[in-house]
Amino acid sequence: MNQAEDDEYQTPRWVKVFGIVALLFVLLFAIVHLLGGGFRGHGPAAHGTEQTRQP
């Protein structure tokens, strides 16, 4: 394979499809985290608040 062939080379279709599916999966994961409050942090303060123990 020479330089010209190298430049014409296309990324395999399965890689493109995989990339799109992976992106959707990451978005779904992020949305689930946002709805669950996961991005507020991962410590007691983040996951506690109104749901934590009653005295």
Partner 1 sequence: MMTPGGRKLALTLHVLASVGWLGSVAAFLALAIAGLTKADAQIVRGCYVAMEVTTRYVIVPLCFASLVTGLVSSLGTTWGLFRHYWVVIKLTLTILATVVLLVHTRPIRYVADIAAQQPLARHELRDVRLQLVADAGAAIVVLVVNTVLAVYKPRGLTRYGRRKQREERALPS
Contact positions vs partner 1 (CB under 8 A)? 1-2, 6, 9, 11-12, 14-15, 18, 25, 29, 32-33, 36-38, 42-44, 46-48, 51-54
What sign does the CA torsion over 6, 10, 15, 19 have? positive
Q: Whole-number minimum distance, CB 14 to partner 1, in Å?
A: 5
- Measured between alpha carbons, how far is 9 from 3 in angstroms, rounded to an integer? 10
Q: Whole-number minimum distance, CB 53 to partner 1, in Å?
A: 7
Q: Whole-number minimum distance, CB 20 to partner 1, in Å?
A: 13
